[in-house]
């Protein structure tokens, strides 16, 4: 069997299908498990049918067996599901790439704890382009630290269940860290009514949900007489799938540890 053995959960979902397609086209990876929830129409079908590429791997509900035969699980599901899958990965010493967002502090701690035993890539956005933007934000924020108000605007499809997006929050964390601030103390997540003048020490967030927007993110540095914007717009989910496979390959020689896409791309 060629390359790294990959398991995918949420196989029939939008991201699941993208990851399956990317894996089947990757010369260094092999799809060994496609897992989905009971009752999903895809159960029992061949994974290749979901993406129009021949592949006899069946879509199954057996999470334990599916993960056990893989080198790495790629998970873009929901926090409660990802944490359950994480426990199975720990038992079987299987690496995991986590693209799920919306974890609370307890969930994040569970990921940190698991990374002491298995290798984990946990990132709010797997896109190579977005992670380059994170790096650009560090530089821009240091230069524009004084005299510029910083606002973060993000837009996603109507089905997204968390807001602001994990990517927008990570952008805010990058900006806050570059300013020497704590995002929890300076973030403003909504404005309504008579709010008074803007506090220059804050970082504002605005959220748009509608249609089939894959993911748009813009950080605005608003000064006197000028505005600097750093943006990323995703035209499809393919960049996230390709990035997740790159992350899986990064974990191939790791026995444990917590990493993100900045580590995967060598941007530290």
Structure tokens at 17: 């299908």
Pairing of strands 227-234, 215-222: antiparallel
Pick the catalytic residue from 25, 157, 159, 160. 160
The encoded tokens of residue 184 equal 């929890």
Q: Which of 265, 244, 262 is nearest to 4 (CA)?
A: 244
The CA-to-CA distance between both ends of the chain, in Å, stands at 33
CB distance 58 to 21 below 8 Å: no
Measure the CA–CA gap between 3 and 247, rounded to whole angstroms: 14
The alpha carbon of residue 234 and the mean position of all alpha carbons in its chain are separated, in whole angstroms, by 13
Catalytic site includes residue 156: yes
Q: Could you confirm whether 157 is annotated as catalytic?
A: no
**Which is the catalytic residue, given 5, 85, 156, 232?**
156
Q: In this structure, are strands 4-9 and 59-60 parallel, antiparallel, or unpaired?
A: unpaired
**Spatial distance between the Cα atoms of 245 and 247, rounded to a whole number of angstroms:** 5
Q: List, in sequence order, the alpha helices (H) in the chain.
A: 14-25, 63-68, 79-92, 105-114, 128-143, 166-179, 183-186, 238-250, 261-264
Write out the catalytic residue numbers.
Answer: 156, 160
């Amino acid at each position: 069997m060629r390359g790294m053995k990959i398991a995918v959960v949420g196989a029939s979902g939008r991201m699941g299908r993208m990851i399956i397609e990317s894996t089947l086209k990757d010369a260094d990876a092999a799809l060994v498990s496609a897992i989905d929830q009971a009752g999903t129409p895809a159960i029992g079908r061949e994974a290749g049918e979901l993406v129009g590429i021949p592949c006899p791997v069946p879509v199954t509900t057996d999470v334990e067996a599916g993960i056990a035969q893989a080198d790495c699980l790629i998970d873009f599901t929901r926090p409660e599901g990802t944490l359950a899958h994480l426990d199975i990965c720990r038992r079987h010493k299987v690496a995991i790439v986590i693209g799920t967002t919306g974890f609370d502090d307890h969930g994040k701690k569970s990921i940190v704890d698991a990374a002491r035993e298995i290798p984990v890539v946990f990132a709010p956005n797997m896109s190579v382009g977005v992670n380059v933007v994170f790096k650009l934000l560090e530089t821009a924020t240091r230069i524009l630290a004084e005299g510029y108000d910083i606002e973060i605007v993000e837009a996603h499809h109507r089905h997204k269940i968390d807001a602001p997006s994990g990517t927008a929050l990570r952008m805010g964390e990058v900006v806050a860290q570059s300013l020497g601030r704590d995002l929890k103390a300076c973030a403003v997540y909504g404005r309504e009514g008579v709010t008074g003048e803007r506090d220059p020490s804050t970082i504002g967030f605005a959220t748009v949900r509608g249609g089939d927007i894959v993911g748009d993110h813009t950080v605005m540095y608003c000064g006197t007489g000028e505005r600097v914007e750093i943006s990323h717009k995703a035209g499809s989910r393919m960049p996230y799938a390709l990035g997740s496979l790159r992350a899986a390959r990064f974990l191939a020689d790791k026995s444990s540890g917590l990493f993100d896409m900045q580590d995967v791309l060598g941007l530290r």
